[in-house]
Amino acid sequence: MRLSDQEFNRLLLLKKLRAAEPVARTELVALTGLTGGTITAITSDLVKRGIVIEEKVVSSSAGRPRVNLRINPAGKYVIGTTATGDGHVLTEIVNLRGESLGGAKARLATTTRIENLAEQFVAALENAIGQSQVRREDIFRIGIGLPGIVDSRTGTVEQIVTFEPGPCDFGGIVARALGIPTLVDNNINLLARGEHWYGAGAHADDFTLINIDLAIGASLYREGQLISGAHGIASEFGHTKIVPDIGRPCFCGARGCLQAYCSVQSITQQSCEHLGRPSPSYETMNACFARLMGEHAAAEIDIWPVLEQASHYLGVAVANHITMQDPEAIIIMGPPMAMMDRLRGTFFAALEQNTFPALRRRTKLHFKVWDKSAYARGAAAMVLEQVYARS
């Protein structure tokens, strides 16, 4: 959903204020590009609402004292929570500055119903709130990240791999049980939000995040806003076709998807095929992948053909994205792969060969290793964006 001009201006101002605080109103003109009148109107409203606080600076010189602005850390509190690939719920409580006030971790019981998963999130959140020093009535919103197809406008989960199909009113179940408004989004969108607020994309308004995990996903920031489709669903970058019609089958039912070659799941399955080993279950895929990478690094096995094919196709897919979207930067997040330099060489060769010539070498590239806590931070950032833009 696109922000209105008023919402965008509020969000822009608060992001710049947060990055530069303490800062005077006059300095925000240069930082934001907004007019002095617009800044005065917005900041006056934010001070009234308790989101921003004013601080008079004592000075020995004559004249009106300087007034600095800061984000009020106690103005509101938000919760970010997500499910991890190893069967846990991670929860983080943050203030308006995005500073963590503590977190919690809870084990998920095995289930195939999305409704049951929502109920377990309720229990984990109840426990996290009970352990914190923040009163329930001071929590403004809850943000939840899930590894599935989510309508972020309604909090409805359409599909999660290994679960019975939706739709499920996930956000509604949590909100009604806890009495706190709840937002739900795809995990990859939350990673992008976390990067935009705290990571390599911090202070950048235009970038794409590509996450290589059991599945492959991507999320786009343009002009400082997270971009989702007309139906509120995140980009399905992993299901773009890299070997159409005749490629490997994908769990989505099609053939030749990027997911079928470059994801942790597909690399693990192809490596096991290459070695003549049985393919692991979905639940044990990450552990099997880690073992394979360890054996490969120790030269006990050779899975270079699988790894280099994945690197090549990822380079082709990123080249197509750069050619179509022309992002300022791309952040590629994934596991610490053995012999990364060699794989990067394969990736960059494919990128160079397949990117439209006028766009070659113009896009900044960042590689980052997984940080599971980034999901919960991203969920909190999703709520902070709501607070900043609309409260």
Q: In this structure, are 363 and 228 located in the same domain?
A: yes
Residue 56 sits in a domain whose CATH number is 1.10.10.10
Residue 210's pLDDT is what? 94
Do 61 and 129 lie in one domain? The reply is no
- Give the CA-trace dihedral at 171, 172, 173, 176, to 10 degrees: 120
Assess whether 215 and 323 both reside in one domain.
Answer: yes
Q: Are residues 156 and 292 in the same domain?
A: no
**What length does the chain have?**
391
Residue 85 is classified by DSSP as: T
- What confidence score (pLDDT) does residue 353 get? 94
* Domain end residue (candidates: 22, 54, 71): 71
pLDDT at 61: 65
Please tell me whether residue 116 adopts helix, strand or coil conformation: helix
The whole-number pLDDT of residue 336 equals 77
- Strands, sheet with 23-24, edge to edge from the N-terminal-most edge strand: 23-24, 66-71, 52-57
Considering the domain architecture, whether residues 358 and 278 belong to the same structural domain is answered as yes
Give the helix ranges, DSSP H, for the chain: 5-20, 25-32, 36-48, 114-131, 170-178, 187-198, 259-262, 264-275, 285-297, 304-325, 340-354, 373-390
Q: Are residues 287 and 353 in the same domain?
A: yes
Q: What angle do CA 173, 174, 180 make, to 5 degrees?
A: 125
Instruction: Please name the amino acid found at residue 228.
Output: S
Category of 276 on φ-ψ map: left (φ > 0), alpha (ψ -120 to 50) or beta: left
- Whether residues 120 and 150 share a domain: the answer is yes
**What's the pLDDT score for residue 103?**
83
| Domain end point (choices 71, 98, 116) | 71
| Backbone φ, ψ for residue 255 (5° rounding) | -125, 150
In whole angstroms, give the CA distance from residue 95 to residue 73.
5
**Pair 22, 100 in one domain:** no
Structure-derived torsion over alpha carbons of residues 138, 140, 144, 145, reported in degrees to the nearest 10 = -120
Other CB atoms within 10 Å distance of the CB of residue 82: 27
> Residue 146 is encoded by which pair of tokens?
């899930």
Q: What is the pLDDT of residue 123?
A: 95
- How far is residue 358's CA from residue 108's CA, in Å, rounded to a whole number? 49
Number of domains observed in the structure of the chain? 3
If asked whether residues 213 and 348 sit together in one domain, one would say yes
Range of the domain at 293: 202-370
Last residue of a domain, one of 71, 91, 109: 71
Which CATH number covers residue 225? Answer: 3.30.420.40
Same domain? For 349 and 220 the reply is: yes
Give the dihedral of Cα atoms 237, 242, 246, 249; nearest 10 deg.
-30
Q: How far apart are CA 288 and CA 93, in angstroms?
A: 33
- The rounded average pLDDT for each run of 10 residues, N- to C-terminus, in the chain (391 residues) is 77 84 90 91 89 81 77 85 82 84 88 94 93 88 88 88 88 95 89 80 80 89 79 76 91 91 95 95 88 92 94 95 92 75 89 92 86 76 75 59
Closest CA to 84 of 383, 382, 379: 379
As a whole number of angstroms, the distance between CA 238 and CA 209 comes to 12
Task: Identify whether residues 266 and 332 lie together within a single domain.
Answer: yes
Residues 119 and 186 in one domain: yes
